[in-house]
């Protein structure tokens, strides 16, 4: 123990609300139950910890309080405090309850003169200028990550009952912090920041995606501005966290005065605020910066006792669509990079505007936010699914424009059109009769692809030469189910400026077959939402997998392996059906990735590898919004977990559902025995030996034995 703190200062308390606790604090219990609900409004650690101190003030009351937090192997750092009068309390609080002591005890510490009649405790309280101390460890994933410290001066010292109340409270806090750590935010409609009253980061990210979609449709610019408030650490250290929050509120009100009604002002995180500026181009950003700087002329906190106010410094950075970025993710990254460049300039207030030739590389980004938005549409209508198919088609065939036509009787109707500038919406109203003389009707009549490498080489073939369809090179591919024409896909103008090739036409055939199958399902099951959605999502997964070397039929084969394994484990008919559907959709999250990045013959960057590890979570989020009953979302979420906790979400054996364990083993076996761009396929014998060697370390031994028995019996293919 540290400094001779006696053992009886560390309390053994139950981790639940006991009848005695409810009788002692009946008015406090409701606040305990609201902790996780209130935590939904926070999007970063500092905001969460400040919220914790606010709630503790209502729960118990204190004179001074602080939260110390350690990041990975770093020492404890002060992250939030109340009541300290300008002197940094970190050294004192570290000495009161050092990390080693908290980790070894992992129990609350209660120090009062009556309870701990010990010279060391007396010295400790005198040094803290307190009559009592209450400290509760904060755990993250089973490890002590920090400590919540409360001090009272005069008055009633902390009691054992209050320590019990605080420990139960921190259990809810720890759940909130773990969710925040893994970005598993509870489903919430809270879009306002608690401190500033502005929109929060969650709302900002959704609104930015909407604004960029609108800018694309109408061929208009859009900009984002990040405003960094510097000097806030100095304010908090000198005047406390409440003064820091008051300063942020004043900055927010000042920015509100210069923003237009169409602009979106939001609290981003830390000391960053963000503004979305619709219909604002690069040329207008200098004027906007001047207006912002004019509004932020100090001093701030002029009502602060004993001061004439405080001066703050501001850094600004902007990004504009389409010059600097095409996607929300890249736009924010450009802004953050700009802030880094702005900070090194020696001006009181500075504005860094990205250079005109700043790379807009988001087309090479792995994650495509627009696809996630389409998948998250609450109805997941046929039009949204066709938009996803069109985006995936552009991964396979790089082209400036693509459209999908669907047959309705004796007409072809354009359902999806991308790349036609402001005419995208107009294009979707086009209808073409099959007896007309044009490209679409020619392909419909002949039921075969039409490739025109250049308009001058078309000869007697029809060409695309009117209105928005004017182009140099194109090809159109029929969507057939047997001999039945269901629709067409048109590609115009290769992105590299060359001509389409016969090889590209031939390579597109498998994708055309899957899209045709989807349109056939739409006809058959459009009235039965459950079956239609299930088959439609299967088609999306299949199209994505076909574009990645070695991945074709991956989910189908995983489903066969998982079903055979689960049957040997005693799953009933209903469980088998749920598992089969879940296996077919276990990689649904990869639909939100750009397939050509996954298919590239190169190693993924560390950032891309981290993004690929999010695909179970992305698939889980999609399925949360889709009305499918016969699917096990937890099996999808946890199919990359391992028995020893080394999986993507670090769940261990007892925390992983059995269906997810079955999926994990089937997924690994199929992946090992299939070739990838970066390695050849592993022989089945070697794959089986690997699974055997990892029994009860990475994989559940019962599941491995069941899969191997299924393979040995010939129930499923051994490749």
Q: Is residue 190 in a domain? A: no
Is 228 in the same domain as 138?
no
Q: How many domains does the chain have?
A: 3
- Please tell me whether residues 151 and 57 are part of one structural domain: yes
* Distance of alpha carbon 283 from alpha carbon 160, whole angstroms: 64
- pLDDT 10s digits, 380-416: 556 677 888 888 888 888 888 888 999 988 888 888 8
Helix, strand or coil, per DSSP, at residue 265: strand
User: What percentage of the chain reaches a pLDDT higher than 70?
Assistant: 82
Asked whether the predicted pLDDT for residue 640 surpasses 70, the reply is: yes
DSSP secondary structure code for residue 186 in this structure: P
Mean pLDDT of 45-51: 81
* Inside any domain, residue 540: no
- Domain assignment present for residue 425? The answer is yes
Distance CA 413, CA 36 (A): 49
Closest C-alpha among 232, 167, 168 to residue 195: 232
Is the confidence at residue 356, as pLDDT, over 50? no
Same-domain pairing of 277 and 420? no
pTM of the predicted model, to two decimals? Answer: 0.44
Residue 113 lies in a domain: yes
Residues 102 and 249 reside in one and the same domain = no
Question: Given strand 349-352, what is the order of strands in its sheet?
Answer: 264-269, 272-278, 222-230, 313-321, 349-352
For residue 279, give the 3-state DSSP assignment: coil
pLDDT tens-digit series, residues 323-341 = 777 788 888 888 888 887 7
**Model confidence over 140-155: pLDDT tens digits?**
877 788 888 888 887 7
C-alpha 250/C-alpha 687 separation (Å) is: 62
Among 448, 465, 499, residue at a domain's last position: 499
Of the listed ranges 185-194, 277-286, 509-518, the one predicted with least confidence: 185-194
Per the prediction, the chain carries an average pLDDT of 80
The region that residue 380 occupies, defined by phi over 0 for left and psi between -120 and 50 for alpha, beta otherwise, is: left
Question: Sign of the CA dihedral 538, 539, 544, 546?
Answer: positive
Q: What is the CATH number of the domain that holds 473?
A: 3.30.450.40
- Output 691-696 pairs: Cβ under 8 A, ≥24 positions apart: 691/665, 696/643
- pLDDT of the residue at 114: 73
In a domain, 443, yes or no: yes
Say yes or no to pLDDT of 189 above 70.
no
Of 313, 347, 364, at which residue does a domain stop?
Answer: 364
> What domain range includes position 461?
398-499
Kindly report the number of other CB atoms within 10 A of residue 16's CB atom. 10
Is 517 within the bounds of a domain? no
Looking at the DSSP bridge assignments, the partners of residue 452 are: 474
Instruction: With a cut of 90, say whether residue 73 has pLDDT above it.
Output: no
| In a domain? residue 330 | yes
In this predicted structure, the answer to whether residue 617 has a pLDDT above a threshold of 50 is yes
Task: Give the end of a domain, one of 320, 346, 364.
Answer: 364
Interval 282-324: pLDDT, tens: 777 777 887 888 888 878 888 887 778 888 888 888 888 877 7
Query: What's 250's domain CATH number?
Result: 3.30.70.270
d(Cα 238, Cα 325) in Å, to the nearest integer?
40
Closest CA to 42 of 194, 207, 258, 213: 194
Residue 66's pLDDT is 87
**Residue 380 has what pLDDT?**
55
Neighbours of 683 (CB within 10 A): 12
């Amino acid at each position: 123990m540290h400094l001779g703190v006696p053992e009886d200062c560390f309390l053994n308390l139950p981790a639940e609300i006991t009848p005695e606790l409810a009788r002692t604090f009946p008015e406090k219990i409701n606040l305990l139950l609201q902790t996780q609900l209130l935590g939904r409004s926070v999007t970063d650690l500092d905001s969460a910890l400040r919220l914790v101190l606010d709630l503790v003030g209502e729960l118990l009351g204190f004179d001074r309080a602080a939260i110390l937090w350690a990041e990975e192997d770093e020492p404890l750092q002060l992250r939030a405090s109340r009541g300290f009068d300008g002197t940094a309390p970190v050294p004192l609080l570290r000495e009161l309850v050092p990390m080693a002591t908290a980790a070894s005890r992992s129990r609350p510490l209660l120090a009062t003169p009556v309870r701990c009649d010990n010279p060391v405790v007396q010295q400790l309280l005198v040094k803290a200028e307190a009559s009592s101390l209450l400290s509760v460890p904060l755990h993250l994933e089973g490890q002590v990550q920090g400590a919540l410290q409360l001090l009272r001066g005069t008055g009633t010292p902390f009691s054992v009952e209050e320590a019990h109340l605080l420990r139960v409270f921190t259990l809810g806090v720890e759940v909130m912090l773990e969710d925040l750590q893994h970005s598993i935010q509870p489903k919430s409609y809270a879009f306002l920041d608690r401190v500033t009253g502005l929109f929060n980061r969650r709302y900002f990210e959704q609104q930015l995606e909407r604004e960029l979609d609108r800018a694309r449709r109408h061929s208009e610019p859009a900009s984002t501005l990040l405003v960094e408030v510097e000097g806030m650490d100095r304010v908090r250290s000198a005047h406390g966290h409440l003064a820091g929050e008051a300063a942020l509120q004043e900055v927010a009100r000042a920015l509100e005065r210069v923003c237009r009604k169409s602009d979106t002002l939001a609290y981003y995180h830390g000391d960053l605020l963000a503004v979305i500026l619709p219909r604002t181009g690069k040329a207008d950003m200098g004027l906007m910066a001047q207006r912002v700087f004019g509004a932020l002329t100090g001093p701030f906190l002029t009502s602060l006792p004993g001061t004439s106010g405080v001066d703050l410094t501001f850094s600004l950075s902007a990004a504009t669509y389409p010059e600097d970025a095409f996607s929300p993710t890249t736009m924010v990254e450009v802004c953050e990079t700009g802030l880094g460049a702005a900070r090194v300039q020696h001006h009181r207030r500075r504005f860094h505007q990205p250079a005109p030739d700043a790379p807009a590389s988001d087309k090479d980004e792995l994650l495509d936010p627009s696809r996630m938005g389409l998948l998250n549409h609450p109805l997941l209508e046929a039009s949204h699914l066709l938009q996803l198919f069109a985006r995936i088609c552009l991964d396979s065939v790089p082209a400036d424009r693509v459209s999908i036509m669907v047959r309705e009787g004796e007409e072809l109707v354009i359902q999806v059109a991308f790349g036609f500038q402001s005419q995208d919406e107009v294009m979707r109203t086009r209808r073409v009769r099959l007896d007309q003389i044009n490209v679409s009707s020619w392909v419909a009549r002949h039921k075969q692809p039409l490739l025109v490498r250049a308009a001058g080489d078309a000869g007697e073939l029809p060409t695309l030469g009117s209105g928005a369809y004017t182009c140099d090179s194109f090809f159109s591919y029929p969507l057939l189910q047997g001999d039945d024409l269901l629709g067409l896909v048109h590609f115009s103008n290769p992105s590299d400026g060359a001509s389409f090739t016969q090889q590209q036409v031939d390579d597109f055939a498998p994708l055309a077959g899957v899209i045709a199958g989807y349109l056939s399902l739409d006809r058959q099951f459009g009235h039965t939402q459950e079956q239609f959605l299930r088959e439609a999502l299967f088609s999306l997964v299949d199209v994505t997998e076909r574009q990645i070397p070695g991945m074709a039929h991956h989910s189908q084969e995983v489903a066969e392996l998982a079903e055979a394994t689960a049957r040997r484990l005693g799953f009933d008919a209903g469980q088998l059906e749920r598992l089969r559907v879940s296996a077919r959709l276990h990689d649904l999250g990869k639909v939100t990735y750009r397939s050509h990045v996954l298919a590239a013959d190169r190693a993924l960057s560390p950032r891309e590898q981290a993004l690929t590890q999010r695909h179970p979570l992305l698939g889980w989020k999609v399925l949360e919004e889709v009305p499918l009953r016969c699917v096990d979302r937890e099996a999808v979420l946890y199919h990359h977990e391992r028995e020893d906790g080394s999986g993507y979400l670090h769940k261990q054996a007892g925390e992983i559902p059995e269906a997810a364990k079955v999926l994990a083993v089937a997924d690994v076996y199929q992946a090992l025995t299939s070739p990838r761009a970066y390695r050849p396929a592993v022989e089945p014998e070697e794959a089986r030996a690997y699974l055997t060697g990892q029994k009860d370390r990475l994989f559940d031994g019962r599941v491995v034995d069941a899969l191997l028995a299924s393979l040995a019996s010939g129930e499923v293919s051994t490749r």
